[in-house]
Amino acid sequence: MLGTFQQTSLRIEVDAPATAIRDSILRPEQLQEWLWPQRTREKLPEQLYEGLSYTSAIGPVLIHHRIDRAEPHCLRVLLSQGIDGFHEWYWGEGWVQSRLEGVSLLPLSLSHTVNLLRLREFLSHKNRQHAE
């Protein structure tokens, strides 16, 4: 794999309950709303589950995903092709923590930060809509 080894860990506060965070991460329909510009190449089930494999793309770069762990408060995805590594998610009431490690030509730290900020905005918008 070409690229450099990169690692990034972030924890953010979000104005959302753990169930809303879980759904935003484990339900592909919601995941695709905030995880931009990454797009899946095949139709995914209603919820991610252990053993599921799929491919996504960021422009011309393909990333293969295999769900290693999918639990009520945790998701671990093994990555290959455009990123050789893993992405872990943990969450609870009002917080999300994410760790991304791998070898890639992509700027992982920048995309990781942007994606977590997009998740926070998505959850905030969803929370405002629910309150109305």
Least confident stretch, 17-21, 34-38, 103-107: 34-38
Structural domain boundaries in the chain: 4-131
Average pLDDT over residues 76-101: 97
Amino acid code (one letter) for 45:
P
CATH class, range 4-131: alpha beta
Q: How many Cα atoms within 13 Å fall on the side-chain side of residue 23?
A: 10
The full DSSP string for 85-115 is EEEEEEEETTEEEEEEEEEESS-HHHHHHHH
Least confident stretch, 31-35, 67-71, 97-101, 116-120: 31-35
Average pLDDT over residues 26-50: 91
What's residue 1's pLDDT?
Answer: 67
Which residues, at least 6 apart from 53, have a Cβ–Cβ distance to it below 8 Å?
64, 65, 66, 67
Handedness of CA 51, 105, 13, 46 (dihedral sign): negative
What's the pTM value of the predicted model, to 2 decimals?
0.92
